[in-house]
Amino acid sequence: MLKLTGAAAVTGVLVAAVALPAVGGAGMTVNAAADELRLLPEELKEPPLAEKTTLLDADGKQFAQFYFENRESVKLDEVADVMKTAIVAIEDYRFYEHGAIDLEGTFRAAVKNVSGGGVVQGGSSITQQYVKLVLVNAAETKEEQDAAIAPTLPRKLNELRYALAIEEKYTKSEILERYLNISYYGAGAYGIQAASRRFFNKPASKLALWEAATLAGAVQNPSVTDPSAGKASRDRLLVRRNTVLNRMAELGKITPQEAEEAKKKKLGFKNIEAPGGCEESAYPYFCLYVRQEIATNEDFGKTRKQRERLLQRGGLVIKTTLTPKAQKASEKAIKEYVKTSDKPVAAQAMVVPGTGAVKAMAASRNFGRNKKKNEISYNLVGDREHGGGAGFQAGSTFKPFTLLTALDQGMKLNDGFTTGSGYRAPSHSAFRNCKGKAVGEPDHEVKNSSEGGGGFKTLTTGTLGSVNTFFMRLEQEVGLCETVKMAKNLGIKRADGTGLKEFETFTLGINEMDPVTVSAAYATIAARGTYCSPMVITESTDRDGKKTSYKPKCKQVLDEEVADAASHIMSGVFTKGTMTEVGGIGRPAAGKTGTTDAYTAAWFAGFTPDLASAVSLGDPRGAFKYDLTGVTIGGRYYSYVYGASISGRIWKDSMLGALKGVEATPFTPVNMERFGGCSAGRCAPKPPPKRDNGDGPHDDRGNDRGDRGDNGDGPFGPPDGGDREVNGGFPFGPNGGAPIAPPVP
């Protein structure tokens, strides 16, 4: 082993200075170099290589694993001899002959660099390269990464000191093994085993000559020769492979004939997807949510960089809240009503009131990137922060926020007022957003559909009938900003992460939402006003066996008795409201349907004291361009899809399955002394002669339609149509009313 001391050490520095002319400097003297040198071995900290993260369900069974550095470390004897030969030939052919630095190779490179007027050839040994890769992998910041590869003489000297220690610590074979396992080869493959499987679908022990030369060539500049990046990159890799073959022949490691035969081979890149990942998970949407939760949750690090580093290197075992029983119940119910081949997609989340634990996330489409199979590559159940999309307008699932605001301000169950078939704001200032701006639209009329001429509606009957004009008047009474604040207190935020749209039709559900967020909001009502952030991780164990437990993040955001009163009213949806045809689940439950303007999306959100859930249905190609009229979904034809048509049925069936065997918990009875009866001036007038006042059971029939907003699908919809309903209602049937939909089979 060559030791650099005395004159040899100074020579090494001078050679390095020549090899790095841009940083050596013309004024560099031998004495200055010697003072800078101090070339003694220095111990290199070698953090463990990045390892896989494993996800476990609530029962402790693995359901996913993913690699942020796709690596499977192997022993040197598990690597084909031709691979070892190829990498040494092209990277450091005197590897077994020199010590930490190859003076001969470095000097040769220095001469070529000087004669070529720049850096033409590198002179780093495999040991030096290993040191650099360790330092890059250990870097905490971008600055540290840049310093690890900076073309400076001090960095090169530090690298040599570490290399000296590595040469003393390990044998040549051990160094080569570590180098092969740490190197990046492109296409997301770290380490020789992952690269061999990714490129050629075989273990490193089975590599042929031309395959070994390909991987040996990829190490030099994998970002430029990444075969998954396109034809140009593959062509560059092919040239690089042939360079390796020529070098092996030049060194006598293979014959010229063998080199020529190998060069006739095509690149042969198989592009095998890395093992694991959410695409391979049995529960891909939950997997996506967990992965993004780790990246964004401060429980896993103060900064995103720290959290991503933990993911990349942590080797974590994550125990989640996912309950197979609830998950399978959701999947089964969705499959019953919506096919994977359908363009409209159903998505559902289940959340536990009082903890925020997400028990299930499911969708009708399979997760993946194969468009021919109708797969989808983002999280249909979560918001954009958790890998989701723009969501769908929530429709009348937003009306309970106005109801809660009214109850919180002292209104009683039977308080109400008379409304007509249409509503116009009396003035611009009748509605003010939370910045104080007047957003009322006196020129815009919001209409009922099947409610006809309207009439006197109370908090109870207006909610069960989902009467648009009633809720517009109610929002005017309690205040738009107050309603927005109530929604925010229950965790409501847009799926795309932008600010809530605070227009007069807020109560009609003009904002795009995701099922997790809506489920958590409704779970707040079920938990008597306690909001808990959606929670998917209960425990993590690091590579050293250290366990960290995570507790629910909850706070009281609503008067308990106000929540009880809302639950009381909303429980009537199954017997007197828009879910009458579907029916209840045989235990205390409450909820609200949601059908958006022009039938662009359909929701049902509901809860028991034990479990809350929300189901959305819409077409991700663009909800306003591809609405839910005249569609076949799940093999059934629908003239119009209401909130109860599909979403409500999925909710019912899935909740029955998820809660099977769970003892029913009753709602806390409403405080009738506080909320019973009606207030002076808000009581119903004496009833006229008996007549049908439109409060019978129906399935929204256009009354819980949201406005167009940004057309429901962010960048997927048509240009912004403004926050108003088209013609104030549907252009179907007499007087703009929607015709009665045929019974759903």
Q: What is the pLDDT of residues 569-622, one digit of tens each?
A: 999 999 999 999 999 999 999 999 998 878 889 999 999 999 999 999 999 988
Contact (Cβ atoms closer than 8 angstroms) between residue 627 and residue 310: no
Establish if 190 belongs to a structural domain.
no
- Picking from 270-279, 434-443, 724-733, which range would have the lowest pLDDT averaged per residue? 724-733
Q: Which of 208-217, 238-247, 300-309, 674-683 has the lowest mean pLDDT?
A: 300-309
The residues, ordered by sequence, that sit 6+ positions from 641 with a Cβ below 8 Å of its Cβ are 344, 595, 599, 602, 617, 628, 629, 631, 633
Q: Which of 13, 153, 543 is nearest to 312 (CA)?
A: 543
pLDDT class of 714 with cuts at 50, 70, 90: very low
- Whether 710 is in a domain gets the answer yes
Is 745 a domain residue? no
Torsion of CA 430, 434, 437, 442, to 10 degrees: -30
Please check the confidence at residue 224 and state whether its pLDDT lies above 70: yes
Residue 562 has pLDDT above 80, yes or no: yes
What DSSP assignment string belongs to 702-732?
TTTPPP-TTTTSGGGSSSP--SS-GGGS-SS
Confidence grade of residue 740 (pLDDT, cut at 50, 70, 90): very low
Transcribe 448-516 into DSSP letters: -STTTT-EEEEHHHHHHTT-HHHHHHHHHHH-HHHHHHHHHHTT---TTSSPPP-SGGGGG--SEE-HH
pTM: 0.70
Q: Is 593 exposed, middle or buried (0-12, 13-18, 19+ CB in 10 A)?
A: buried
End-to-end CA distance of the chain: 83
Q: How confident is the model at residue 687 (pLDDT cuts 50, 70, 90)?
A: low
In the predicted structure, residue 741 carries a pLDDT above the cut 70 = no
Measure the CA–CA gap between 653 and 485, rounded to whole angstroms: 33
Mean pLDDT (the chain, rounded): 85
Does pLDDT of 103 surpass 70? no
Strands 601-607 and 358-363: unpaired
How does pLDDT run across 403-440, given as a tens digit for each residue? 999 999 999 999 999 998 899 999 999 999 999 999 99
Q: Is 160 or 702 the better-scoring residue by pLDDT? A: 160
- The residues, ordered by sequence, that sit 6+ positions from 255 with a Cβ below 8 Å of its Cβ are 249
Q: What is the pLDDT of residue 401?
A: 98
Instruction: Identify the residue with better confidence: 207 or 3.
Output: 207
CA triple 677-528-516, angle to 5 deg: 120
648 lies in some domain: yes
Contacts of 131 (CB under 8 A, 6+ apart): 44, 159, 162, 163, 166
- The CA distance from 345 to 379, in Å, is 12
**In what helix (H) or strand (E) does residue 591 lie, and over which residues does it extend?**
strand 590-595
Label residue 27 by pLDDT band (50, 70, 90): very low
What value does the mean pLDDT take over residues 161-186? 96
**In this structure, are residues 381 and 363 in contact, taking their beta carbons and an 8 Å threshold?**
yes
Mean pLDDT over 285-289 rounds to 94
Sign (positive/negative) of CA torsion 257, 259, 261, 264?
negative
3-state secondary structure 243-307: HHHHHHHHCCCCCHHHHHHHHCCCCCCCCCCCCCCHHHCCCHHHHHHHHHHHHHCHHHCCCHHHH
Average pLDDT of the segment spanning 100-126: 55
At 375 the pLDDT is: 86
Within 8 A by CB and 6+ apart from 193, the residues are: 71, 72, 73, 74, 78, 181, 203, 204
Rounded mean pLDDT, 380-404: 94
Average pLDDT of 532-537?
97
Specify the higher pLDDT residue, 671 or 697. 671
Q: Let me know if residue 179 belongs to a domain.
A: no
Q: Which of 413-422, 488-497, 551-560, 678-687 has the lowest mean pLDDT?
A: 678-687
Q: Could you tell me if 228 and 188 are in contact, meaning their C-beta atoms sit under 8 angstroms apart?
A: yes
Q: What is the pLDDT of residue 556?
A: 98
Once rounded to an integer, what is the mean pLDDT over residues 713-742?
31
> For residues 277, 280, 281 and 287, what is the CA-based torsion angle, rounded to 10 degrees?
30
Q: In this predicted structure, what is the pLDDT of residue 453?
A: 59
Please give the pLDDT value at position 50: 77
Query: At 607, which CATH number?
Result: 3.40.710.10
Is residue 28 pLDDT above 70, yes or no? no
What confidence category does residue 449 fall into, taking pLDDT thresholds of 50, 70 and 90? low
* CA dist list (Å): 737 to 56, 258, 448, 509, 703: 51, 80, 8, 20, 10
Give the three-state DSSP class for 670: coil
276 is a domain residue: no
| 640: enclosing H helix or E strand | strand 636-640
pLDDT of residue 116 exceeding 60, the answer is: no
Reference 254, options 176, 263, 125; nearest CA is 263
Please check whether residue 535 lies inside any domain of the structure.
yes
Q: Are 285 and 368 a contacting pair, CB within 8 Å? A: no
Domain range for 668? 358-692+701-736
> Tell me, what's the pLDDT at 689?
65
Any long-range contacts for 680-684 (C-beta under 8 Å, 24+ apart)?
682/411, 682/412, 682/415, 682/416, 682/417, 683/414, 683/415, 684/414, 684/416, 684/456, 684/458
- 628 or 118: whose pLDDT is higher? 628
Quick check: 398 pLDDT over 50?
yes
The answer to the question of residue 724 being in a domain is yes
Count the domains in the chain.
Answer: 1
Q: Is 446 within 8 Å of 467 (Cβ atoms)?
A: no
| Rounded Cα distance, 744 and 649, in Å | 10
| pLDDT at site 301 | 87
Range 97-102 average pLDDT:
78
Q: Are strands 422-423 and 446-447 parallel, antiparallel or unpaired?
A: antiparallel
Answer yes or no: are the C-beta atoms of 570 and 592 closer than 8 Å: yes
In a 13 Å sphere around the CA of 408, the CA atoms on its Cβ side amount to 23
Contact between residue 359 and residue 321 where contact means Cβ atoms under 8 Å apart: yes
Least confident of 150-159, 160-169, 395-404: 150-159
Give residue 543's pLDDT.
Answer: 77
Which among 86, 46, 51, 72 is positioned nearest to 175, based on CA atoms? Answer: 46
